[in-house]
Structure 1
């Protein structure tokens, strides 16, 4: 049968759902031992029944030959009846055959031998092993016919008693053996599989992002090799995480440099030209003889467009160069960012709660970018009237960032198509954090929840952090 067929019918010997490997092994071994006991019981029964029948039949055949021979000799004796009675008494206490002298009618007396002492054994066992008694009738020869006949009947209780004693001894030995084997197997399997719980817990921690976890390389050869492979895999994942972190730091540095270059170009190249256009438009306005002429109106329109362009260029410069504000701390930078949005959107209410503890310049930059991107998306994809911004440090000293708005909510496919959200997820994931962007459940709008672990390498850049004092 193929593996697909086995999966379809189920493997009765494999671990069941929510069952440990050691429990499955012990269960299967116990089944084998129980089947062994049952098979041994069947074989013992067959052997015992055969043995009892063979022994009793043999004893009956010998007794029959002996009685027939002796009866022929008694025909010439002076007192044959006495000899016949003595012959019956010879079988007193015989464990296999009982003899009876049956006198003819009308007397019809029966003189039987005494049975052997009864064996103490369960009646059910005797009924299970014993067969139907066999009776052999030996008629007297001529000259002794007046004395009747001798009947020989099989007696099986003594032989069954021997079988019962043998059965009890074998059952005790087999039970002791099975118990000893079960105990040894339980101890052996328990010690052999002892590394598995630790290995399973280590895999859980590894799946949660803890690449520094290691397991002791102990146990049988196969499990020791598995532990060795796990440690090597964890070490490689840790190295890959460090490389990814370095690459993301380099990428962030390059992005900051590109933003700085773009901001510099806007400031040094575009702004002077806008200023020149504004001056030229003002000059044209002054040179127009008639203030109501179309030329003056066009000059005023150019000046309004230039003023609008200057406003947007200034806004772009503020978003491209947030590091200028981070020099005064994360709280001040976010408040400055919110103030710039508040200035352009006076109808929107901002609730800001930012911790005064810095997380290091690198992490502060990431947090500032997350808040900036979340607020920009709120205004870009919805019409919020209230935005809540909260940055705190929890009991495990990790940073939690929460931004909530009451805008239109997420549109289908916006989480996978927005480059800003994708970049946010990649940057936070590279730092070992988690991002959760969903529609709010209490009301319309979007909830952005970010959790980032604070690493020592980030906190080292925080000049405001107080040094730890050893107790």
Structure 2
């Protein structure tokens, strides 16, 4: 539903509710006034009859004249109002009523029926007659419900036309005001549609209303963030492709410069051994020994290449032991200038092979960067597994107390190593953060779910 019509409808409903409440209050006041008039009439007639009883007891009047109803008829009754005198047994002794001009009654039937149903239709009032403790009857004053309903209708009927006019005017004015106030929402909807269609350069102008202006600020900030994220993702994809090509070039170079040459040498020596064996040359054993050495070197070279592609100790020893070996190698290479340490907690044995390989490579790259650039005395690796909201999560932190980003090679933040780490964290659907620590040094913090897809 359109927002303007929704607001107009609610305002009209409130106006109608106010009118209904006001009309109900007026009708209730009319009923209260009728009840008050009947109470006053019953009390006045009762006092007159009490006075007559006193005169009879004092011999100033005779009992046959009781009740002296001529005094009652002097009271001006309202249309439809009656006053009656009942004896002690409930029989009507006297009665006086003011008639109702049915032709003058303009209240509709539904209103009269509703009035009788919801309110005291007769609004009767009674007053007992007693003298010296003896009951002498009951004075009852009542009103015809038709006359009372007509009086109530006369009170509210002038309000109906005026209220209808005011509500119609209110609808028009409210719609116009709301339409003017919500005019900027058209620009907001247009901006959202452009953003949904991929136009990340779309921006909203500033608005006068504080709420709409806040929406504009958030929308523009979101557009800028999405535009930057898209650009960063495109740049990351480009660098990842370049990094992949560099890896392939490195592996091809290693295979060509080392393995291929070794194989060529092995082939040549093997041919030489074959010829010498055919000639029974005693130097064949020396060539065979040389062939054995070349084969050993080839095996070592292949192992280095395989270790570069994937460390075998992760599958053989597990992630924790592989990280300890990696930290120990860095301690040996540092010769005491930098102390590398590893702190783990939680059961990491059930971590998947892919996740273990990513964690190992990230720690390997982080320690290499720290050793090259940090000039730190201490480098600490923390790997923690914890449970949050029913799911296992992994937290990895590599912090040093070195020189931070002031003299550390800042290009490392956008280099291949950092790109590779971001790529691995992205593959783990985790969060990546790297930068100077508040207490000094440099820190790398990663968090991801231990279960894929969570």
TM-score (norm 2): 0.42
Higher relative contact order (CA 8 A, sep 6+): 2
Q: Name the one with the larger strand percent.
A: 2
